[in-house]
Amino acid sequence: MTQPILEMRGITKRFPGVVANDHVDLTLYPGEIHALLGENGAGKSTLMNVLTGIYAPNEGHIRFKGQPVDLKSPKSAVDLGIGMVHQHFKLIEPLTVAENVFLYSGRCKAMLNTRDMNQCIKECSENLNLKVDPNAKIWQLSVGEQQRVEIIKLLFCGAELMILDEPTAVLTPQETVELFKTLRKMADQGKSVLFITHKLYEVMTFADRITVLRNGRSVDHMLTKDTTRQKLTNLMVGRDVLKVVPERDTAKSTREVLRLENICAMCDKGVPALNGLSLTIYGGEILGIAGVAGNGQRELSEVIAGLRRVTGGKMFLNGKEVTNLSSRDSIKKGIAFVPEDRMGMGLVANLDMVDNAMLRDYDVPPINRKGILNKKEAIRRTESFVKAHDIKNAGIKKPVRLMSGGNLQKLLIAREIHGNPDVVVAAYPVHGLDIGATETIHKVLMEQRARGAAILLISEDLEELFELSDRVAALYEGEVMGIIPIEKVTEEMYTRVGSLMLGDREESAAKEQTGGMAEA
Ligand SMILES: Nc1ncnc2c1ncn2[C@@H]1O[C@H](COP(=O)(O)OP(=O)(O)OP(=O)(O)O)[C@@H](O)[C@H]1O
Ligand SMILES: [Mg+2]
């Protein structure tokens, strides 16, 4: 058998109160694509941070190409040829692609040579399917293109082991296929690829080998061809998992809660993102929004949440016009918002759980009494969130940046639905979440629906949309192409929504503007 490129043995990393990695073993071979799997909080990111020199392990050792290595800093990992594409890209937006690659290479190369760099970018684009314009500014690129820049940066620094932390969470299905084509080519050239994902489909389709972490331990590793999705799920969770489809009644509500009429709005770059969008959401229903990312989903959610001004059209809440609400007023009027960007727009990384739990209503009773913060009440509330949603944490007074993705999302949703809002806007609420956390979030949305809230659910996962939504609207270039009521999910519906997402308008879209659910 070939010599492994990487051997991690007995890696242990403790944080105050948590053992994030508990004697973890991981072996990688040259030329393979390896998937690292595990539930939220299993210790995947921590292990990768150890491998890239960000954290020093408390115990264990690492061999790279047969030699023991001491990864004292991120630079020492880069020098060895270990590169990582983080979930949040580390690119400088106002600079060009070439400038970003050049600046980054300062970390690995003493002599910077623009000719070599241009040659590298060209070769990457020709041989590795990594097409990107070297002179484009980062902010002009799509997320998929930015990811390619991250990969090119690492290749230019001579990476032989490429780590990607949930690389497909931000990609469309087509982009995902393209990415894995590139990764396969890199593996064929003898490099090793290690990727983290929560999507079992990707693991089964693209990985050669798999390592599973559970509660900080490496519980198993195997060849992909020797396992199944069900086996992997059981290994990750440590028990048999039966997917429960949330039950729902089919009684249709006709109480209009939110109505958008011919909404127009710009995106951050100042170009139109919503172009006369109309839709109505009724109390007690989930309206799903399908669409390829970048067709106005973000702007739609922000308009409803009072975070983006409309340049045309009207919005009505419970029959009253509320166009261009401020975000504070939107909160006061009972509009809850679970944004796609949960850390940043949703939660403040350096604040603790208690402060984050009161961000929505720190200025009104019972949290605020005549200008004085009632911390006791906030603590009580946080504790009730933790209990109700089983939020794992290292202490409610610790900064939330230390929490894992799934637990952050539970905290965010708990805060947003506290106080029984009339409208809940949830953008990609289960992005990056494991099976257990996904189940919890779905249950919460169904409970809100049962309580009578009007819910807008944005997702790129049609299966999820069909499972939860009463109706699914397809967005294309900032307009609703059609709305499909969901009663029984059939193969035909996937095709129908798929073609709406690509811009094939349906007659019923016009109806939505005048009529409503009765006609849909
Ligand atoms: N810097 C830190 N300080 C304290 N605790 C931490 C720190 N980083 C991670 N943890 C804790 O270590 C455990 C493992 O976290 P880690 O981020 O590695 O999980 P993960 O498998 O990447 O999860 P996810 O799928 O949600 O990204 C969690 O309980 C987390 O709260
Ligand atoms: Mg992680």
CATH code: domain of residue 125: 3.40.50.300
Residue 21 CA: which ligand 1 atom is closest?
A: 14
Out of 46, 217, 352, 441, give the residue to mutate to test ligand 1, the one with the largest number of ligand atoms within 8 Å of its CB.
46
CB of residue 402 inside a 6 A radius of ligand 1: yes
Say if residue 60 is in the same domain as residue 139: yes
Residue nearest to atom 12 of ligand 1 (CA): 20
The string of DSSP codes covering 144-209 is HHHHHHHHHHHHHTT-SEEEEESTTTTS-HHHHHHHHHHHHHHHHTT-EEEEE-S-HHHHHHH-SE
Of 168, 202, 237, which residue is a domain's last?
A: 237
Distance from C-alpha of 20 to C-alpha of 153, rounded to nearest angstrom: 29
Q: Is residue 209 part of a domain?
A: yes
Say if residue 43 is in the same domain as residue 96: yes
Of 237, 266, 301, which residue is a domain's last?
A: 237
Q: Is residue 414 part of a domain?
A: no
Rounded distance from Cα 405 to ligand 2 centre (Å):
7
What is the pTM (predicted TM-score) of this model? 0.74
pLDDT of residue 345: 84
CB of residue 459 inside a 6 A radius of ligand 1: no
Among positive and negative, which fits the CA dihedral 248, 468, 389, 334? negative
Say if residue 117 is in the same domain as residue 218: yes
Say if residue 190 is in the same domain as residue 294: no
Domain membership of residue 295 as a residue range: 255-334+424-520
pLDDT of residue 249: 64
Rounded distance from Cα 253 to ligand 2 centre (Å):
39
Q: Is residue 400 part of a domain?
A: no
pLDDT of residue 507: 65
pLDDT in tens, 1-40: 689 999 999 999 999 888 999 999 999 999 999 999 998 8
Q: Is residue 345 part of a domain?
A: no
Buried b / exposed e along 439-448 (16+ C-beta atoms within 10 A): bbbbebbbeb
Residue nearest to atom 10 of ligand 1 (CA): 402
CB of residue 403 inside a 6 A radius of ligand 1: yes
Rounded distance from Cα 411 to ligand 1 centre (Å):
15
Rounded distance from Cα 15 to ligand 1 centre (Å):
9
Out of 11, 13, 39, 45, give the residue to mutate to test ligand 1, the one with the largest number of ligand atoms within 8 Å of its CB.
45
Given a contact cutoff of 8 angstroms between Cβ atoms, the answer to whether 321 and 315 are in contact is yes
Query: Which residues, 6 or more positions from 13, have their beta carbon under 8 angstroms from its beta carbon?
Result: 19, 20, 21, 43, 46, 47, 50, 55, 57, 58
CB of residue 409 inside a 6 A radius of ligand 1: no
Given a contact cutoff of 8 angstroms between Cβ atoms, the answer to whether 506 and 481 are in contact is yes
Tokens 């009529």 correspond to 515
Residue nearest to atom 28 of ligand 1 (CA): 41
The string of DSSP codes covering 346-403 is TB-TTSBHHHHHTTTTTTSTTTEETTEE-HHHHHHHHHHHHHHHT---S-TTSBGGGS
Say if residue 173 is in the same domain as residue 312: no
CB of residue 38 inside a 6 A radius of ligand 1: yes
CB of residue 493 inside a 6 A radius of ligand 1: no
Say if residue 198 is in the same domain as residue 324: no
Residue nearest to atom 1 of ligand 1 (CA): 402
Of 188, 208, 237, which residue is a domain's last?
A: 237
What is the total count of domains within the chain? Answer: 2
Rounded distance from Cα 86 to ligand 2 centre (Å):
10
Buried b / exposed e along 273-291 (16+ C-beta atoms within 10 A): bbbebbbbbbbbbbbbbbb
CB of residue 18 inside a 6 A radius of ligand 1: yes
CB of residue 41 inside a 6 A radius of ligand 1: yes
Say if residue 260 is in the same domain as residue 225: no
Q: Three-state DSSP class for 71? A: coil
Q: Is residue 488 part of a domain?
A: yes
CB of residue 406 inside a 6 A radius of ligand 1: yes
Distance from C-alpha of 413 to C-alpha of 424, rounded to nearest angstrom: 10
Say if residue 263 is in the same domain as residue 225: no
Q: Which residues pair with 34 in a beta bridge?
A: 194, 209
Say if residue 10 is in the same domain as residue 151: yes
pLDDT of residue 123: 85
DSSP state of 520: -
Say if residue 80 is in the same domain as residue 120: yes
Q: Is residue 295 part of a domain?
A: yes
Tokens 């580390």 correspond to 90
Residue 405 CA: which ligand 1 atom is closest?
A: 26
Phi, psi of 400 (to 5 degrees): -70, -15
Which residues, given as ranges, of the chain have pLDDT below 50?
A: 509-520
Say if residue 38 is in the same domain as residue 183: yes
Query: Which residues, 6 or more positions from 396, have their beta carbon under 8 angstroms from its beta carbon?
Result: 352, 353, 354, 379, 382, 383, 386
Residue nearest to atom 16 of ligand 1 (CA): 43
Closest by CA to 169, choosing from 409, 402, 341, is: 341
The token duo for 264 is 């127009």
The token duo for 437 is 């956390």
pLDDT of residue 520: 35
Rounded distance from Cα 144 to ligand 1 centre (Å):
26
Rounded distance from Cα 41 to ligand 1 centre (Å):
5
Q: Is residue 358 part of a domain?
A: no
The token duo for 163 is 């780590």
Residue nearest to atom 24 of ligand 1 (CA): 40
CB of residue 20 inside a 6 A radius of ligand 1: yes
Q: Which long-range contacts (CB under 8 A, 24 or more apart) does 503-510 make?
A: 503/476, 503/477, 505/476, 505/481, 506/481, 506/482, 507/482, 508/482, 508/483, 509/479, 509/480, 509/481, 509/482, 509/483
Rounded distance from Cα 357 to ligand 1 centre (Å):
20
Out of 15, 40, 392, give the residue to mutate to test ligand 1, the one with the largest number of ligand atoms within 8 Å of its CB.
15
CB atoms within 10 A of CB 234: 14
Q: Is residue 437 part of a domain?
A: yes
The token duo for 86 is 């983080």
CB of residue 83 inside a 6 A radius of ligand 1: no
Say if residue 91 is in the same domain as residue 172: yes
Reduced 3-state DSSP string for 475-518: EECCEEEEEEECCCCCHHHHHHHHHHHCCCCCCHHHHHHHCCCC
